[in-house]
Amino acid sequence: MAFLLDIITFLQISFSTNIFRINYNKRPDLIIFVNGLPLVVIELKNATDENATIKSAFDQIRTYKATIPSLFRYNSICVISDGLEAKAGTISADISRFMTWKSSDGIAESSKLVPQLETLILGMLNPCILLDLIKNFIVFEKDKKQDEKGQTQVFTIKKLAAYHQYYAVNKALERTLQASRKGGDKKGGVVWHTQGSGKSLSMVFYTGKAVLALNNPTIVVITDRNDLDDQLFDTFAASKNQIYQCYQMNFWQR
């Protein structure tokens, strides 16, 4: 399958190619198109304006969602920046779930002297990484909450992998492929995660990619606590479409 990636050229201002207007009323700062689809919306604020914060960039994305919802029909990722900070998330994520992309090469974290937006562009928005994220590192989960009247509402949340999940999963898969080859040592290795860093979703992302790379293998999950059994079952069940989609793609590509 071929992908044509059209990224806005930051150093070349062209009213014919680099500006995208919607009904000539709203003009998002930057949009990345893949095969003609607006998959990434980027909102930038001026670092010299004390009123321009990362929160105001997030609020602007929410305004676009309310006023031009068709823009987000195919949206995968939203990026917000105030010139100092830069974060990425999904259209359904609260601002607390927008995360910084901290590495431009997947080997080491970028220096704090390097602008966060530069790291995000070189790392996350690298064409190969961006397409990999869209294909393999976005899941949809159902969640519940009660409104003021006590009524339970079920809604869908789109979740995007953080930078450490992305690089850890790809490294783990690479090591798994090496270990499983003829003459390999059959030792996949260990991924070290801190508490609350998204271990369950990392396992989902790994499983989804392993289904493609290893021709629908059997994945065995072992835990040492019953509550982890329930947690992992719920996470995998909520993300089953991601794994099933990978299986279907693997079947049709044979």
pLDDT category at 73 given cuts 50, 70, 90 is very high
The C-alpha atoms of residue 167 and residue 102 are separated, in whole angstroms, by: 11
Whether the Cβ atoms of residue 83 and residue 120 lie closer than 8 Å to each other? no
pLDDT tens digit sequence for 165-222: 999 999 999 999 999 998 889 888 888 888 878 899 999 999 999 988 888 888 888 8
Angle 129-131-133 from CA coordinates, rounded to 5°: 65
Q: Which residues pair with 34 in a beta bridge?
A: 5, 37
68 closest CA partner among 29, 26, 36, 125? 26
pLDDT at 96: 93
> Is pLDDT at 93 greater than 70 in this prediction?
yes
- At residue 20, the pLDDT reads 55
Does the model's pTM come out above 0.85?
no
Q: pLDDT per residue over 2-40, tens digit each?
A: 555 555 554 555 555 555 555 556 788 999 999 889 999
What digits encode the pLDDT tens for the residues 121-151?
999 999 999 999 999 999 988 777 777 777 8
Q: Which residues of 186-211 are buried (b: 16+ CB within 10 A; e: fewer)?
A: eebeebeeeeeebbbbbbbbbbbbbb
Does the pLDDT value for residue 119 go beyond 80?
yes
- pLDDT value of residue 115: 94
Residue 241 above 50 pLDDT? yes
In this prediction, residue 205 carries a pLDDT of 95
Considering the domain delimited by 5-136, tell me its CATH architecture. Alpha-Beta Complex (3.90)
Run of H or E including 115: none
**pLDDT tier at 1, thresholds 50, 70, 90:** very low
Mean pLDDT, to the nearest integer, of 218-238?
A: 85
- Residue ranges of the domains in the chain? 5-136, 161-252
**What pLDDT is attached to residue 117?**
96
**CA 116, CA 110: separation in Å to the nearest integer?**
8
